[in-house]
Homo-oligomer: A and B are copies of this chain.
Amino acid sequence: MSLIKGKVLIAQGGGPTAVINQSFVGAALEARKFPQVTRVYGAMHGIKGIVNEELCDLTEATTHNLEAVARTPSSGLFSTRDKPTVDYCRKIFEVCRAHDVRYFFYIGGNDSADACRIVNEQARSDRYELRVIHIPKTIDNDLKVTDHCPGYGSAAKFVAQAFSGANLDNRALPGVYIGVVMGRHAGFLTAASALARTFDDDGPHLVYVPERAFTRKQFTQDVQAVFLKHKRCVIAVSEGIVDAKGKPIAEQFSGGERDSHGNVQLSGTGALGDLLSSWIKADTKITRVRADTLGYLQRSFLGCVSEVDAAEAREVGEKAAQYAIWHNLDGSVAIHRVGDYAVKYFLTPLHTVAQKTSEMPAKFINKKGNNVTDAFIRYARPLIGAMPTVARLSAPRVRKVLNK
């Protein structure tokens, strides 16, 4: 057990998820059990809050309040897109040292893992005892090492329920429906659109992910073929789809806005969906084409949580406190899948998760690059938990007496 006496500091970074507060509350409540932990602090707005010394004392939050926050989507401690430089980390230190912080837990994606790595190295080179644990979180499901990421299951459930409903709507009033799904480089969330397919002819009929080159010609031919067969077509497409040269199709509409990580804005605009609609109208004879961009609802919609995802998000938070305080370790908490379906947790070095991201394995995408495989369904279905069911009317047709 680590005998280092001092404070715990917890922060949340990057895009919120429906269950990110489960991780924060899991870490806070677990950390409060240890006598060598003098206080549990939360940083407001991630590492920016540390630098600005905007901290709150979670030791004085009630358990009831923390449990209620755990069930609330989005980052209860607020978030930031700041990426720390070495100078930025120096400031983080001054604050940690000044407040006797000895355990730092940062919940986020690969950028947050990288921040953890830098802070950890800085601590070591300064000979300051600071345990740093990265707690994984991302709806993109694109972190290295871990089988999957907390936050993904709930976002995937939202996407599955959205497309299941859109498919029913499209059956009632046929046409082409395009749903644009979040995902800059990894298609996992877009692929989740297929998880609620029940009947053979259920949509989405076409699924396009950033891992495969997207061409207008192939796209409109695919749509035409589906439309001929089913007289309708439901399409799921990642916001991050790229052309044969790897250039995002959406990039020309972004107005050039970039975040501090150099990423072009993809979400919060309906331009990609509208462009794809216009291509279908121009290249085929289909007239009724509708495009929705699922947008921020995917990560923050109230009341669409996978119970599996919520439980795992809670546990990675608890494990962070245990690894750091029981075991005196640094690293990133990762998930190992066992059986069908259970998980075990382990700690992986921070550098194995920092910066890099994963893409969908080739076995999850069909040969044509326009749909997902059964292997993906088997992988992802346990993560979204229980789903509402859909039914089709089963009633015999009446024999015509006039229009025979």
Contact = CB atoms under 8 A, between A and B. Distances in A.
A289 B79 CA distance: 17
A303 B304 contact: yes
A56 B393 contact: yes
A294 interface: yes
A401 B303 contact: no
Interface string A81-115: 10000000000001100110000000000000000
B57 A169 contact: no
B267 A270 contact: no
Contacts of A79: 172-173
A168 B16 contact: yes
A361 interface: no
B300 A166 contact: yes
A150 interface: no
A262 B74 CA distance: 42
Contact of A267 (B15, B290, B396): B290
Interface in A384-404: 387-398, 400-403
A263 interface: no
A274 B270 contact: yes
Task: Determine the main DSSP class of A at the interface with B.
Answer: loop
Interface centre among A74, A177, A277, A299 (most CB of B within 10 A): A74
Contact of A57 (B53, B257, B396): B396
Nearest to A386: B303
- One complex includes copies of this chain to the number of 2
Contact of A161 (B56, B296, B302): B302
Contact of A16 (B173, B300, B396): B173
Given A72-B168, A94-B402, A98-B401, A269 B291 contact: yes
A41 interface: yes
Interface in A273-319: 273-274, 277, 287, 289-297, 299-304
Interface stretch (A60-68, A209-217, A342-350): A60-68
Nearest to A390: B72
A122 to B, nearest CB: 17
A69 interface: yes
A118 B68 CA distance: 54
Interface of A: 12, 15-16, 41-42, 52-58, 60-62, 65-66, 68-69, 71-81, 94-95, 98-99, 161-162, 164-166, 168-169, 171-173, 177, 196, 257, 267-271, 273-274, 277, 287, 289-297, 299-304, 387-398, 400-403
Given A53-B403, A269-B291, A270-B271, 9 more contacts: A57-B396, A68-B391, A72-B391, A79-B172, A161-B303, A165-B301, A268-B289, A269-B273, A290-B296
21 contacts: A16-B172, A41-B398, A53-B401, A55-B397, A56-B395, A62-B394, A65-B395, A69-B391, A72-B392, A78-B173, A80-B173, A98-B402, A99-B398, A169-B300, A177-B268, A268-B290, A268-B291, A269-B270, A293-B293, A293-B295, A297-B297
